[in-house]
Structure 1
């Protein structure tokens, strides 16, 4: 099981622009000794510098590698078809509800919430996942703006119905609703990837 510190660490790395995947290699003592990032784009230099700074805060001895994502179209099509994708997230101000539409393997799930955009985005996303027929044994603890940085990303905290650690997701988009929905999917990405394999 991943520790809360490692989860925060991974979350920071995944929030970097262009990061597609994050991997860890552990020493015999269980400490992170190497971090590998897969990124979209060819200019990995600036990202490597920032990643090394983040890694050094958590694991000063760990090495960092940054690889450019290879453009293998057959792999991309397969991966795209097996992921839960956010199609749209809208707030109806006249009727006062949020609606989120997700797609998984050609199936569409729609979720609604009567809460405002910040909380409603997360609630409607969980509802849409259940509408897709996916078992999502989590409930929303919080959905908050991080007002300490430009653009105000949203952090969503979900609590499992079992006695496991909370899951956290972070996202920054054009609206609070979209950020909240994306942060919810970010919090569940490991769980969902096991469900849809």
Structure 2
């Protein structure tokens, strides 16, 4: 359990500009050994200097380590590309939706004939399969948050292997685009981790 002094110390560190997270390791006697700050600033050394001054008031023996996130952003930019929504069209004559997605210059097109709401989600899953993804989920529900227009759509995907449902929510100009984007939202982590490829 944290002492009041430790709580105050952490609060002061968290209030520094650019501090995203604070971690502490303790010695056997309960004193703080190392304080690690995760920061998003242009000058992490300035944050370390101020944090060291604060630490000297509370725990003079504690070592302050600052981990900047700028290197993570560069890694993220170099990381895998993401599946992007391109467009969605609904043909009211035959009730079919067509969704187009892209990743790394490749285009996937999916079609479904279930109307604009369910069809938008089904066509998105079909477009992902067209891109070569093996999607181990089936469409469970596609619902509007309310019965009015201009409200988000929620998509629920059921795992085929009982590993948990996926939920996505999105709001766009119409229900079909909202359903397509909510389907992508529900699969963000799955697709970003390269699963299903």
Query: Residue 171 of structure 2 aligns with which residue?
Result: 172
Query: Residue 93 of structure 2 aligns with which residue?
Result: 94
Residues 78 and 93 of structure 1: CA distance in aligned 2, closer, same or farther (over 3 Å): farther
CA deviation profile, 1:141-194 (whole Å, cap 9, x unmatched): 000000188821000000111011110000000010000000000000000001
Alignment of structure 1 residues 1-197 onto 2, 5 Å: 78=78, 82-147=81-146, 151-195=150-194
Cα distance in 1 for residues equivalent to 2:118 and 2:22: 36
- What is the number of residues matched between the two proteins? 133
Moved over 6 A (4+): 23-26, 73-77
Q: Which deviates more from structure 2 when the two are superposed, residues 142-151 or residues 185-194?
A: 142-151
Cα distance in 2 for residues equivalent to 1:182 and 1:174: 11
CA RMSD of aligned residues (A): 3.4
The residue matched to 1:180 in structure 2 has which SS? Answer: helix
Greater Rg over alpha carbons, structure? 2
Cα distance in 2 for residues equivalent to 1:179 and 1:106: 23
Is residue 169–residue 182 contact of structure 2 (8 Å, CA) maintained in 1? yes
Q: Report the alpha carbon displacement of residue 24 of structure 1 after superposing the two structures with TM.
A: 9.3
CA deviation profile, 1:101-128 (whole Å, cap 9, x unmatched): 0001101000000001110010000000
Cα distance in 1 for residues equivalent to 2:167 and 2:21: 19
CA deviation profile, 1:17-53 (whole Å, cap 9, x unmatched): xxxxxx9999xxxxxxxxx9x9xxxxxxxxxxxxxxx
TM-score (norm 1): 0.59
The residue matched to 1:135 in structure 2 has which SS? Answer: coil
TM-score (norm 2): 0.59
